[in-house]
């Protein structure tokens, strides 16, 4: 049985590697390290299908190092320790460290990452991790501090076209057909910048014609792809379209649509932590002070789905999604921080008023730091009118209450306390 086209086309050297020229082009940082023969432990962060695994293999081959690979999906602490023991046995005097490649390192738990830490610290292995998620969120700080992070980008249009043309010209099976590409747009669209998906799509299209003559047009690609490729691709364009539809359904207070898009993501194999993080954002951006419990619900759900995992996590996500979708909405907090940040960029570094400054030393007290500050709890109702903004922007309003019952109560209280200053 022949391997898929994406596997057959996997490059063996940097010269054949397509894309990521900011890392592996002539004079680029990672290429220099490879050519010097000494590479640090590092993590490759980028979307699916841009060459993370391929690059790790090329580096191991070019440096002629022993190469061990683990997938975070099906490897436990025991597998890590066994692999490290094997790596130790490969160490000889003066010989470079073996390379340990870990695919989807973001899926490793803290205990699994801790098991790696000692081997990386002692130089038993040079770690190359691959992740589609922000490593600052998913990789423990101790391990992250011992590894460089290199960001890989979606393959651009020229890279993708080059990949198609190269496959048609060099692949032994595609060479058996007469293939003409009249239009590339649909091929590129369905790839979503993912080289692996692009080659799989190309192979699918070419396998349809039995007479050996293949003419690739946008219409022919669209027809064949829609019949055969899953409706959800967690690394491509659908990933962004469906999460967008999900969030907009919550924002639009439509629980039926929100749960439908949630189901599409779950059935498509989306990372539940990604969905949970989007719920956290929506709870503040779209609901906010109209229902402060929404953020508590989203936070609890995020913790719970990590504790129980799938399939039960789908129930927790459904509960949180419905709660957020049916909650009253307000984007006042979102607008307030946007306005404040815009003001800060415009006014730059305004001085803190003297009465608000910290005064831990005698000199600072002599300079009137902290003087005339009124301690709110010393006054009736734990409140006293005083100024908290820099002089240059006094009277500026950032927070405007939303038109919902919860924030109307806030509005009433602020106006009662501040009189004319807080007339929303």
Continuous H helices in 229-292: 237-251, 255-267, 272-282
CATH 1.10.3710 domain span(s) along the chain: 348-418
238 against 301, higher pLDDT? 301
CATH of the domain spanning 20-151: 3.40.50.300
Write down the mean pLDDT value for the chain.
84
SS3 65: coil
Closest C-alpha to 96, from 70, 74, 63: 63
Q: Say what percent of the chain tops pLDDT 70.
A: 93
**pTM tops 0.85, yes or no:** no
- Residue 304 confidence (pLDDT): 94
- Give the fold, CATH level 3, of 348-418: post-AAA+ oligomerization domain-like (1.10.3710)
Query: Phi/psi of residue 303, each to 5°?
Result: -70, -40
Q: In the predicted model, what is the mean pLDDT of residues 403-424?
A: 80
Most confident listed range (157-161, 271-275, 320-324): 320-324
Q: What angle do CA 258, 262, 241 make, to 5 degrees?
A: 85
CATH 1.10.8.60 domain span(s) along the chain: 157-228
Asked if the model's pLDDT at residue 205 lies above 50, the reply is: yes
- Residue 89 confidence (pLDDT): 77
Q: What angle do CA 285, 290, 293 make, to 5 degrees?
A: 85
- Residue 232 confidence (pLDDT): 47
Q: In the predicted model, what is the mean pLDDT of residues 33-55?
A: 87
- Please give the full DSSP string across 303-361, using - where no structure is assigned: HHHHHH-TTTHHHHHHHHHHHHHHS----HHHHHHHHHHHHHHHH-SPPPPGGGS---S
- Give residue-wise pLDDT tens across range 341-393: 888 888 878 888 888 888 777 777 777 777 888 888 888 888 888 888 888 88
Asked if the model's pLDDT at residue 208 lies above 70, the reply is: no
Asked if the model's pLDDT at residue 8 lies above 90, the reply is: no
Kindly report the number of other CB atoms within 10 A of residue 330's CB atom: 22
- Residue 177 in contact with residue 205, Cβ under 8 Å? no
CATH 1.20.272.10 domain span(s) along the chain: 237-326
Q: In the predicted model, what is the mean pLDDT of residues 243-272?
A: 88
* Burial degree of 26 (CB within 10 A; 0-12, 13-18, 19+): exposed
Q: In the predicted model, what is the mean pLDDT of residues 48-67?
A: 86
Confidence of residue 210 (pLDDT cuts 50, 70, 90): low
Structure-token pair, residue 53: 């695994």
Lowest-confidence segment of 67-76, 139-148, 228-237, 281-290 by average pLDDT: 228-237
Q: Which CATH class is domain 237-326?
A: mainly alpha
- Residue 103 confidence (pLDDT): 87
CATH 3.40.50.300 domain span(s) along the chain: 20-151
Confidence of residue 227 (pLDDT cuts 50, 70, 90): low
**302/317 Cα distance (integer angstroms):** 8
Q: Going by CATH, does the domain composed of 157-228 fall within 1.10.8.60?
A: yes
- Residue 315 confidence (pLDDT): 94
81, containing H or E segment: helix 77-89
Lowest-confidence segment of 5-9, 172-176, 192-196, 231-235 by average pLDDT: 231-235
Confidence of residue 423 (pLDDT cuts 50, 70, 90): low
Q: Say what percent of the chain tops pLDDT 90.
A: 16
Asked if the model's pLDDT at residue 269 lies above 90, the reply is: no
Confidence of residue 267 (pLDDT cuts 50, 70, 90): confident
Asked if the model's pLDDT at residue 93 lies above 70, the reply is: no
- Residue 295 confidence (pLDDT): 96
- Residue 275 confidence (pLDDT): 93
- Residue 209 confidence (pLDDT): 58
């Amino acid at each position: 049985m022949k391997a898929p086209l994406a596997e057959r086309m996997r490059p063996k050297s940097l010269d054949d590697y397509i894309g990521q020229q900011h890392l592996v082009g002539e004079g680029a940082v990672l290429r220099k390290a490879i050519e010097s023969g000494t590479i640090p432990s590092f993590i490759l962060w980028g979307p699916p299908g841009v060459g993370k695994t391929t690059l790790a293999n090329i580096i191991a081959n070019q440096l002629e190092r022993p190469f061990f690979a683990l997938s975070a999906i099906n490897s436990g602490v025991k597998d890590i320790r066994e692999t490290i023991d094997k790596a130790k046995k490969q160490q000889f005097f003066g010989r470079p460290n073996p390379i340990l490649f870990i695919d989807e390192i973001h899926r490793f738990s803290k205990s699994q990452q801790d098991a790696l830490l000692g081997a990386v610290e002692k130089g038993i292995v040079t770690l190359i991790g691959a992740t589609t998620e922000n490593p600052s969120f998913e990789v423990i700080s101790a391990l992250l501090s011992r590894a460089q992070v290199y960001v890989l980008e979606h393959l651009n249009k020229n890279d993708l076209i080059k990949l198609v043309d190269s496959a048609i010209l060099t692949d032994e099976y595609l060479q058996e057909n007469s293939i003409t590409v009249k239009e590339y747009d649909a091929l590129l669209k369905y790839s979503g910048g993912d080289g692996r998906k692009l080659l799989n799509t190309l192979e699918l299209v070419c396998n349809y014609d039995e007479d050996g003559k293949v003419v690739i047009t946008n219409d022919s690609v669209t027809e064949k792809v829609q019949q055969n490729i899953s409706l959800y691709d967690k690394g491509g364009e659908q990933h962004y379209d469906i999460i967008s539809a999900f969030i907009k359904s919550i924002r639009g207070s439509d629980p039926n649509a929100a749960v439908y898009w949630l189901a599409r993501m779950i059935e498509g194999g989306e990372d539940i932590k990604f969905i949970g993080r989007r719920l956290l954002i929506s709870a503040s951006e779209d609901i906010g002070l109209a229902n402060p419990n929404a953020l508590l619900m989203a936070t609890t759900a995020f913790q719970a789905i990590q504790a129980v995992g799938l399939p039960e996590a789908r129930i927790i996500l459904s509960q949180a999604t419905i709660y957020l979708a049916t909650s009253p909405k307000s984007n006042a907090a979102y607008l307030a921080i946007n306005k404040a940040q815009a003001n800060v960029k415009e006014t730059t570094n305004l001085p803190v008023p003297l009465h608000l400054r910290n005064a831990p030393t005698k000199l600072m007290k002599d300079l009137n730091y902290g003087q005339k500050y009124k301690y709110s709890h010393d006054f009736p109702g734990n409140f006293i009118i005083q100024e908290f903004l820099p002089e240059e922007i006094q009277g500026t309003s950032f927070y405007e209450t939303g038109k919902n019952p919860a924030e109307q109560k806030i509005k009433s209280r602020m106006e009662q306390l501040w009189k004319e200053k807080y007339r929303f």
